[in-house]
């Protein structure tokens, strides 16, 4: 991702490992993730289905098979109050959500704010990400938490 000065990007990544509803676990193969804002933020990971220590350990995914992130990236440094306000808004949503024990908000630098969560299934993770997205729309742009048309079914 490349952002011009003054730009703001709200994005997310939701990954499901396997198809638990169809009784098809993530039993073989690999998943590689790469999210990057050059010189600012890099997320890179490799999950191998054979790595049970990573998949099942409490220091890894703790048996969860859905990983989700929602992030706000700014083209210019955020002011301290704006950044803290985004963290506070996200944490308020997280604290009221069933995934509160496996979710958290952080800001690794002055231009990035991230919420990450682990979940047993996609639906609770998507719900949390959508709620944070709504809170950040209100915080950053004073817009209502409307759902994009593409989500309407």
pLDDT of 147: 83
pLDDT in tens, the chain (153 residues): 899 999 999 999 999 999 888 888 999 999 999 999 999 999 999 999 999 999 999 999 999 999 999 999 999 999 999 999 999 999 999 999 999 999 999 999 999 999 999 999 999 999 999 999 999 999 999 999 888 887 776
**CB contact at 8 A, 90 and 132:** yes
pLDDT of 63: 93
Q: Is 80 left (phi over 0), alpha (psi -120 to 50) or beta?
A: alpha
CA proximity to 3, closest of 67, 71, 83 = 71
pLDDT of 88: 98
pTM above 0.85, yes or no: yes
pLDDT of 9: 95
126, two tokens = 């998507």
pLDDT of 146: 86
Exposure string over 136-147, b if 16+ CB within 10 A, otherwise e: bbebbeeeeeee
pLDDT of 22: 86
Residues recorded for the chain? 153
pLDDT of 153: 61
CA proximity to 14, closest of 33, 40, 42, 36 = 33
Residue ranges of domains in the chain:
8-141
């Amino acid at each position: 991702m490349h952002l011009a000065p003054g730009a703001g990007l709200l994005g997310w990544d939701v990954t499901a490992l396997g198809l638990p509803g169809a009784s098809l676990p993530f039993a073989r193969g690999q998943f590689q993730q790469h999210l990057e804002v050059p010189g600012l933020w890099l997320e890179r990971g490799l999950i191998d289905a054979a790595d049970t220590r990573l998949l099942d350990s409490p220091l890894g995914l703790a048996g969860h098979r859905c990983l989700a992130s929602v992030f706000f990236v700014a083209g210019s440094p955020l002011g301290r109050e704006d950044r803290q306000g985004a963290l506070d808004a996200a944490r308020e949503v997280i604290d009221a959500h069933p995934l509160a024990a496996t979710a958290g908000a952080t800001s690794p630098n002055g231009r990035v704010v991230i919420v990450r969560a682990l979940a047993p299934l996609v639906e609770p993770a998507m719900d949390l990400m959508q709620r944070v997205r709504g809170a950040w729309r209100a915080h950053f742009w004073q817009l209502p938490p409307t759902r994009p048309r593409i989500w309407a079914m």
